Structure 1
């Protein structure tokens, strides 16, 4: 009888112990580790220097003097240098009539080059991949791009494949969120994310200024990344995903329309960027950080900020805003590095001002914009690559990735560095030259004559522009 009573007392304890042990193991299996990433290095013959940019601009016979001046001013002040890359159909003058073959050629080169490099770097085989997520906003063929990759690498028949389209520049973080959620129900898995964009088929050939902006900012690029939730591979990880926060601001009409693919009055299709873009980005980022801050900042910083707000609670609304902004949250108290989407100089400046960041904090984003341009969803990884090539990332550091995209949305995440990162990666050929003394494009110095009577004389004769 005593034995029976003892068993009745002990068995629930044993059951509780094993249940707790199982929960701990499940939680370990739900972690998301990054094992490696591979950014795309476009071929040298697609480099878009100042002379080639001038020739491409002059091909557009729809432009008048005002549009040419606008493009000249935009190029000079964009923060983009002379070493970015452009799709071949744009360089060869076929952007007005893009073909499906052009789109496949552009996307295949980026996807397969980065995937080949990723498998070669890590030693993983395509047959090891359990989950595949591809995001390309402006190109969604049938069969899907995930199916194209599966066919090329002869991946397993039970692979979980997802194709994301129309998600804009922040699609890379959306893809990682998909992976993270799948990891919670699929233990001991390995995942690949491919992030890039199809630019050649969506080159704008009209004269609407707000649509010409995309031609000035967007450039070729992309990245493939390898993730896992296997505890046995933790020692190989370079980063661990700590937090993820996604904010969709599309219910606001102004934000929804600030970054949109449309046709102009003459039927030319392009990507329209309105003057409301920076304001919408600021609002979306504020909403996102309101949710993310309590998860990533130390308690003492939250208490300090709350005390500042309460101290000015009886003042006017304007005074409260100024006081809170002046004593705003110090994100550096919980974050070591800021990986800001290199969407444009205005976006980088806005994020920097809003978070109180220094030029050192913004340097990776500015340099990625200067060297590679806005490579859409792949842009964050060129910024991360700069930090790594400069040997800034040390074990235990926290990285805040800030991405903004059409919709309008803000998707942010926080990584923990698992080991010192020192791979020169895609920056290896030029990292010693960064940061340069000036990030201004020399376009105006070479083509200051692009105005008034002379411009009107040469606008239909591109042979007058030297490309030697």
Structure 2
């Protein structure tokens, strides 16, 4: 008789043990990350160097100059961002394949060298390699270039992601997490950057000139693992990740796209529908993400408030982005820090307003945009680096990463801080100066004469 009672008990214990082992294998820890900062200060794009790049474009007229002045002043970009070498040196109209490879090598190899040195992990120990560069996909791939450089193992699982936009970094992390569910006790490298040099726009279409104002050189390499034995070395643990693709909507699909203008100049077009697409995609993402990160009492409160907001919105036909997001969602009930994609001041302001975040929450994204610009998929890690350099990240804190990208995609994830983090990282040389007293751009002071009325009667 005793055996009859023990068999069900053993069965339950066995399946519990199996479930625990399965969960242990699905963990995703970050051991370290390294952001890129050029050693060559000649690549810095301050006001004067930016002006030189603009004046070189003989296709522009007074109207285009005024447009650039207005948007540069309001961009949130500072004086210390970095540009591609071929652009700084005046070769933006005739980029070469060799320069494209040189740009990628400099960013990728610099961050990987520092990552291996910091962690004492040998390249031969890496099991998975994921590289995301949207606008440059050579053959052999960039993953093959890394494998050749570091003599990585023959059985490495290598993936090269292209065309995924500014949110590609979270896509790459998700790919690693999915692989970790199948392969146990592995080490993975994720490299996130963008090829800026060959994709500098040299025409005069306003919606395509915006990318030159916002995008800058940068990138990051990360080391991830699901080996529970390395948990004590981890700085972050991935708690959840939600990906949303809004590409079925034509406006959203076309709001952020690589195209050619009427004169055949290639570039990246950003339309006025971008903020609306971002708000809608983010709202769809939150519907899945919120139940995973907020306590039940906050979810219940939000559902009730959203019901009444929807009724009001239908009666007023409101289409404002902040109305779509839904005011009153208190993400702080489950999140301590917000790592927003530093895509531009309008994106940061819109997200902050929609989620009712204060200036303390938005400061890391604003400062990353000001110091390094929009570095595409690598941008999130400069924001995270700012939080760490400011000693904000304490053990047990939760960080919400919000990324938006072409397609249109919204990919968000939540990390848990595994230990107090205080490394000044890529911010080491300037963190004491941030936040600055003013984010005003010198373009306003030095080139405000472009708005003088008398210039309307002359040709520049």
1:24 corresponds in structure 2 to: 20
Once the two structures are superposed, the pairs formed by residues 161-310 of structure 1 within 5 Å of their partners are 161-309=158-306
Once the two structures are superposed, the pairs formed by residues 99-110 of structure 1 within 5 Å of their partners are 99-110=96-107
TM-score, normalization: structure 2?
0.94
Q: Which moved more, 1:152-161 or 1:5-14?
A: 5-14
2:386 corresponds in structure 1 to: 386
> Is 1:112 the equivalent of 2:103?
no
Q: Report the 3-state secondary structure (helix = DSSP H, G, I; strand = E; otherwise coil) of the residue aligned with 1:185.
A: coil
Q: Report the 3-state secondary structure (helix = DSSP H, G, I; strand = E; otherwise coil) of the residue aligned with 1:447.
A: helix
2 CA distance for matches of 1:313 and 1:259?
28
> Is 1:68 the equivalent of 2:69?
no
1:465 corresponds in structure 2 to: none
What do you get for the CA RMSD once the two structures are aligned? 2.2
Question: Given that residues 187 and 229 in structure 1 are in contact (C-alpha distance below 8 angstroms), is that contact kept between their aligned partners in structure 2?
Answer: yes
Question: Given that residues 65 and 456 in structure 1 are in contact (C-alpha distance below 8 angstroms), is that contact kept between their aligned partners in structure 2?
Answer: no
2 CA distance for matches of 1:90 and 1:325?
38
2:79 corresponds in structure 1 to: 82
CA offsets, 1:347-398, max 9 Å, x none?
A: 0000001100001100000000000000000000000000000000011111
Unaligned runs of 5+ in 2: none
2 CA distance for matches of 1:170 and 1:435?
25
Flag the 1:100–1:332 CA change in 2: closer, same or farther, 3 A.
same
Once the two structures are superposed, the pairs formed by residues 25-44 of structure 1 within 5 Å of their partners are 25-43=21-39, 44=41
Question: Given that residues 341 and 404 in structure 1 are in contact (C-alpha distance below 8 angstroms), is that contact kept between their aligned partners in structure 2?
Answer: yes
Q: Report the 3-state secondary structure (helix = DSSP H, G, I; strand = E; otherwise coil) of the residue aligned with 2:378.
A: helix
CA offsets, 1:260-280, max 9 Å, x none?
A: 000000000000000111111
CA offsets, 1:412-464, max 9 Å, x none?
A: 000111110100000010000000011121112122344667799895xxxxx
Flag the 1:456–1:134 CA change in 2: closer, same or farther, 3 A.
farther
Flag the 1:171–1:24 CA change in 2: closer, same or farther, 3 A.
same
Question: Given that residues 279 and 325 in structure 2 are in contact (C-alpha distance below 8 angstroms), is that contact kept between their aligned partners in structure 1?
Answer: no
2 CA distance for matches of 1:204 and 1:110?
21
Question: Given that residues 309 and 326 in structure 2 are in contact (C-alpha distance below 8 angstroms), is that contact kept between their aligned partners in structure 1?
Answer: no
TM-score, normalization: structure 1?
0.93
1:464 corresponds in structure 2 to: none
Q: Report the 3-state secondary structure (helix = DSSP H, G, I; strand = E; otherwise coil) of the residue aligned with 1:339.
A: strand
Once the two structures are superposed, the pairs formed by residues 41-60 of structure 1 within 5 Å of their partners are 41-43=37-39, 44-60=41-57
1:462 corresponds in structure 2 to: none
2 CA distance for matches of 1:93 and 1:107?
19
2 CA distance for matches of 1:258 and 1:323?
20
Q: Report the 3-state secondary structure (helix = DSSP H, G, I; strand = E; otherwise coil) of the residue aligned with 2:448.
A: coil
1 CA distance for matches of 2:406 and 2:338?
21
Q: Report the 3-state secondary structure (helix = DSSP H, G, I; strand = E; otherwise coil) of the residue aligned with 1:71.
A: helix
